[in-house]
Amino acid sequence: MSASRKQFHLNAFLMGVGHHEAAWRHPRTEEHQVLDVEHFQELGRIAERGKLDSVFFADSLAVGPRIKRNTLAVFEPVTLLAAIAAATSRVGLIATASTTYNEPFNLARKFASLDHISSGRAGWNIVTSGSEEEAFNFGFDAIPEHARRYERAEEFVDVAIRLWDSWESSAIVLDPQEGIFADPDKVHTVDYSGPRFKVRGPLNSPRSPQGRPLLVQAGSSESGKEFAAKYAEAIFTAQRTLEEGQAFYRDLKSRLPKYGRSADELKVLPGLVPYIADTTEEAEALEREFTDLISPDYALGQLSRLLGVDLTEHALDAPLPPLPSVTEIEGGKSRFTLVKELAENENLTVRELIGKLGGGRGHRSFAGTPTQIADELQSWFENGAADGFNIMPPYLPGGLEVFVERVVPILQERGLFRTDYEADTLRGHYGLGSVESQFAEVQTEASA
Nearer to a copy of itself, 133 or 226 (CB): 133
User: Which range, of 129-137, 325-333, 352-360, 408-416, touches a copy of itself by CB under 8 A?
Assistant: 129-137
Q: Is 24 exposed, middle or buried (0-12, 13-18, 19+ CB in 10 A)?
A: buried
User: Which range, of 180-188, 220-228, 416-424, 426-434, touches a copy of itself by CB under 8 A?
Assistant: 180-188
**How far apart, in whole angstroms, are the C-alpha atoms of residue 144 and residue 238?**
24
Among 43, 46, 55, 78, binds a copy of itself (CB under 8 A): 78
Min dist CB 345 to a copy of itself, Å, is 30
Q: Is 285 in the site for a copy of itself (CB under 8 A)?
A: no
Closest CA to 405 of 35, 50, 5, 104: 50
Among 12, 43, 58, 199, binds a copy of itself (CB under 8 A): 199
Nearer to a copy of itself, 132 or 222 (CB): 132
Which 380-409 positions form the footprint of a copy of itself (CB under 8 A)?
none
Nearer to a copy of itself, 177 or 347 (CB): 177
**How far apart, in whole angstroms, are the C-alpha atoms of residue 137 and residue 75?**
17
DSSP 64-104: -TTTTT-----S-HHHHHHHHHTT-SSSEEEEEEESSSS-H
User: Which range, of 110-118, 233-241, 245-253, 382-390, touches a copy of itself by CB under 8 A?
Assistant: 110-118
Min dist CB 193 to a copy of itself, Å, is 9
**Is residue 224 a contact partner of residue 189, using CB atoms and an 8 Å limit?**
no
3-state SS string over 156-195? HHHHHHHHHCCECCCCEEEECCCCEEECHHHECCCCEECC
Amino acid at 3: A
Min dist CB 57 to a copy of itself, Å, is 11
DSSP 193-240: E-SS-EE----SSPPPTTSSPEEEE---SHHHHHHHHHH-SEEEE---
User: Which range, of 225-233, 293-301, 344-352, 410-418, touches a copy of itself by CB under 8 A?
Assistant: 293-301
User: Which range, of 204-212, 256-264, 302-310, 435-443, touches a copy of itself by CB under 8 A?
Assistant: 204-212
Nearer to a copy of itself, 8 or 101 (CB): 101
Amino acid at 375: D
Among 5, 6, 198, 250, binds a copy of itself (CB under 8 A): 198
How many residues contact a copy of itself, by CB under 8 A?
Answer: 73
Q: Is 428 in the site for a copy of itself (CB under 8 A)?
A: no
**How far apart, in whole angstroms, are the C-alpha atoms of residue 327 and residue 147?**
11
Nearer to a copy of itself, 62 or 247 (CB): 62
Min dist CB 231 to a copy of itself, Å, is 22
User: Which range, of 28-36, 221-229, 323-331, 337-345, touches a copy of itself by CB under 8 A?
Assistant: 28-36
Q: Count CB-CB contacts under 10 A for residue 1.
A: 8
**Is residue 369 a contact partner of residue 280, using CB atoms and an 8 Å limit?**
yes
Which 132-151 positions form the footprint of a copy of itself (CB under 8 A)?
133, 136-139
Q: Is 164 in the site for a copy of itself (CB under 8 A)?
A: no
Among 14, 15, 52, 80, binds a copy of itself (CB under 8 A): 80
Nearer to a copy of itself, 6 or 198 (CB): 198
Among 60, 169, 337, 443, binds a copy of itself (CB under 8 A): 60
Closest CA to 77 of 44, 52, 49, 48: 44
Q: Is 316 in the site for a copy of itself (CB under 8 A)?
A: no
Q: Is 67 in the site for a copy of itself (CB under 8 A)?
A: yes
Torsions phi, psi for 437 (to 5 deg) = -60, 140
Longest distance between any two alpha carbons in the chain, whole Å:
79
Q: Please tell me what DSSP assigns to residue 145.
A: P
Closest CA to 320 of 294, 340, 295: 340
